[in-house]
Amino acid sequence: MYFTTSICEEMSHMEENSDGKISFDKYFRYCEIQAYLTRLSRDYEAIVKVENYGLSYEKRNLTLIKISSGGSNKRPLIFLDAGIHAREWLAPAQALYIIEQLVENPSNKGLIKNIDWIVIPVANPDGYEYTHMRDRQWRKTRSAGKYCDGVDLNRNFDFHWSDADKDECSIFYAGAEPFSEPEARALRDVILKYAHRIKLYLSLHSAAQSLLYPWGFTTDPPGNIKELHDLALNVSQTIYHFNKTEYKVGSSAEISGSVTGSSRDWVYGVANIQLAYTIELIQNYLGRLAVAHSDLVTIENYGSSYEGRNLTLIKVSTGSTKNKPIVFVDAGIHAREWITPAQALYVVNQLVENSTNINLIDKVDWIVIPLINPDGYEYTYTKDRFWRKTRSKGLICDGVDLNRNFNFHWRGKGADRDECSDAYAGPRPFSESESIALSQVLLRHADRIKLYITFHAPLQSLLYPYGYTSQLPVNNEELLDLGLKVAKSIYAVNKNKYKVGTSVQLFAYTAGSSRDWAYGVAKINLSYTVELPPYPASEYEIPPEKILSVVAEMFEAIKTFHQYVQDKFYKWFSGPQYRQTMEEILATKDDVQEIEKLVSSDDKESDY
């Protein structure tokens, strides 16, 4: 079924938005966005005009909003579009926020006094609706193809189009010919109509957290490189001063890799608009938390991935004292295990936004890394759903299994020397920037971390050291007893049984894991791998409607872990035994120097 202009009538259950009002606590459907624009044109007719500038493939209206305080038609114009890529829901939301601030916030009237604005909130409405109805990760248009449907609009513009992807089934498919898509032709025509007045073009995307200027097809600099770069730096500094969020600045080719046939390059190269940018927004749930709950939340970038993405952690603390035990949680070390970042984010959400859980942060601090392996994770969305490793380059095959790359019995049993294996341990311990960064942040807080939890899937188990040997750890009884308590708390929710034991006892050898390293080197004596459950249809793809039940169930386990840490360590941190033991724990900091040596070393083998 194709939705057309009658979609709002068919979606009558959305009564709260029938009056065209909007908020920013949810993502809106296309008809709701249309209704909002219509209301603005009615309530603010002196400054707002709404126009349909074309039709999509599925015959939806393509709509823009003009915002002007009047005056001459010769005033400079800022042109902004969003939603070229269907799944990037944050971009239309950002466009709507800009519209709201320009039109409905009188304190911003200076922004429209001498400059006019044209904003297109959703340039690809067919794809946008498809992500709401059928496939959340759909990126392209919905035009019919011979083998696969859809075209990447941001590869369909006639500027170095011939170098773009010709595979119909690729998410980057450039189309049968330039401007094959009605959405691209309509956007082209409206830009050319106003090109003599447009002085700044902004195309909103997500989620690479960057300000990108031409070119995408080459690393050669554009003619006004200094102006483009200086303005982008100024903007990035403004963002940073607001909430400490860092945006990268540079050309697309330098920062994101080759992109041909993009709207931005066409605008600069053909329409001759000299200030043309792609703004890659951050998927800013964590950023929003840091602003809304600044008394509890701190966001830090603790390193960079192989492909240059920020590695981000969130600290949750009431700040009442620095002498509190820390629970350290990470997820997403294996790219294809999508449920694990969702689990980590649910933990953050419950700690920060659920006031009934205030007791969980009163006497214990938390550090959570929702996604350790962002390069691999992104690759599972764009190329290979079942990719597991990092994206570092190899001689024959790319990527390293991060959970075999830690320098504790590296390349022992369960770790592979074969570059093409999913369990490849890397050419040397800590060969990966992601494992180095994680180890360093763990060592930096090792004196206070009393529990380390790393989320994986899909073995439905609670695993403690060791993975390299069948030998039991010295505090096996404690680890087993706590694991059993946690398993019991999970079972009490909905009768799901979790196995408890060492990796070797229950499954297989896994030498070089983050958990064994945390236990054996960082001396975190409570270290667990928490394997979330599989789903019968696909081990790694839990249906969206099932995710909440999985992560909510596991949060009961988190509560049990927390209670144990609080009961055992909170008072200890204020007593004499804490001061007495500090020197022993801090001795592990010497491993930072060892790691730095490994990073700079050219050795390809290890004695392990």
Supply the residues annotated as catalytic.
531
Asked if residues 525 and 519 have their Cβ atoms less than 8 Å apart, the reply is: yes
CA distance 400 to 305: 13
Which uninterrupted H or E stretch holds 554?
helix 544-569
Name which of 57, 55, 120, 124 is nearest 84 in CA terms: 124
- Pairing mode, if any, of strands 449-456 and 527-531? parallel
CA distance 84 to 278: 11
Inter-helix orientation angle 30-43/125-133, to 10°: 130
For 321, residues 6+ apart whose C-beta sits below 8 A from its C-beta are none
Angle at 527 between CA 392 and CA 458, to 5 degrees: 60
Asked if residues 90 and 281 have their Cβ atoms less than 8 Å apart, the reply is: yes
- List the strands of the sheet with 499-502, edge to edge: 297-304, 310-316, 365-369, 326-330, 449-456, 527-531, 461-464, 499-502
CA distance 432 to 37: 48
Per DSSP, what are the bridge partners of residue 64? 51
Please list the helix, strand and coil fractions of the chain in percent, rounded to the nearest 5, in that order: 40, 15, 45
What amino acid is encoded at 325 in this protein? P
Asked if residues 102 and 111 have their Cβ atoms less than 8 Å apart, the reply is: yes
Radius of gyration of the chain (CA): 26
Per DSSP, what are the bridge partners of residue 453? 329, 528
